[in-house]
Amino acid sequence: MLRYTIKASPDSDVTALVDHLAVRATAANLDSQTVELLTRNTRTVLTALVEQGRALAANGSAMNVTRDLSGPGFKIAVVFGSQRKRGFLARLLGN
């Protein structure tokens, strides 16, 4: 059983994230059809989240999303966050 969490942001390289997932899925002895299904669905979800995150960031907005993808032999969590972390002083000053 492959359990894996992908953390992404608007700056993420979707291809690199999906390629790494494919390596992990293959190492977990998932069959080739399952690896193909998993990578295709993950790429679709990540691409949509990254594009939406970039569009929102351009307008000064942010979003945080978690999506779970599961199937025979795998459970993948996609955690997307576009909110920029602010330092203590910025939070204190309300910036």
Residue matched to tokens 């966050």: 81
Q: At what angle do helices 32-58 and 14-27 cross, to 10 degrees?
A: 150
29-57: average pLDDT: 94
Residue type, 94: G
CA dist 9 and 71 (Å) reads: 24
User: Number of structural domains, the chain?
Assistant: 1
Where does the chain show beta strands of DSSP type E? 2-8, 64-71, 74-81
- pLDDT greater than 90 at residue 95: no
Q: Which domain holds residue 21?
A: 2-93
pLDDT higher than threshold 60 for residue 85: no
Q: What pLDDT, on a 0 to 100 scale, did the predictor assign at position 58?
A: 84
